[in-house]
């Protein structure tokens, strides 16, 4: 699934893919904001993105994708 994070006073957003569920991402974001800590997310390739929660303007979590097999129309 794709996650887009808007950073306060920055024109570009942070975009990454994640294997976490929507609920897991929502929980991590809510905990980081409540604690005033750093939001830490990893992509499937093992890269880690760290964002201070004070700078988070918004988080957009895309739909969970079901992997399709075969030829779909």
Other beta carbons less than 10 A from residue 21's beta carbon:
12
Query: What tens digit of pLDDT does each residue of 36-50 get?
Result: 999 999 998 999 999
Residue 13 lies in domain: 2-61
Which among 23, 20, 14, 48 has a CA at the least distance from the CA of 40? 48
Given this model, what pLDDT does residue 59 score?
95
Backbone dihedral angles phi then psi of residue 36, each to the nearest 5 degrees = 70, 30
Q: Is residue 66 part of a domain?
A: no
Given this model, what pLDDT does residue 68 score?
62
What's the pTM value of the predicted model, to 2 decimals?
0.80
Domain count, the chain: 1
Q: How confident is the model at residue 72 (pLDDT cuts 50, 70, 90)?
A: low
Given this model, what pLDDT does residue 64 score?
74
Other beta carbons less than 10 A from residue 16's beta carbon:
17
Q: Is residue 72 part of a domain?
A: no
Query: What tens digit of pLDDT does each residue of 17-38 get?
Result: 999 999 999 999 999 999 999 9
Backbone dihedral angles phi then psi of residue 68, each to the nearest 5 degrees = -95, 145
Q: Rounded CA gap, 39 and 69, in Å?
A: 34
């Amino acid at each position: 699934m794709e996650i887009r994070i808007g950073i306060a006073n920055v024109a570009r957003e942070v975009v990454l893919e994640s294997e976490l569920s929507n609920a897991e991402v929502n929980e991590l974001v809510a905990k980081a904001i409540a604690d005033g800590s750093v939001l830490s997310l990893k992509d499937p390739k093992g890269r880690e993105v760290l964002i201070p929660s004070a700078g988070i303007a918004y988080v957009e979590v895309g739909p969970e994708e079901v992997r399709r097999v075969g030829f779909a129309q």
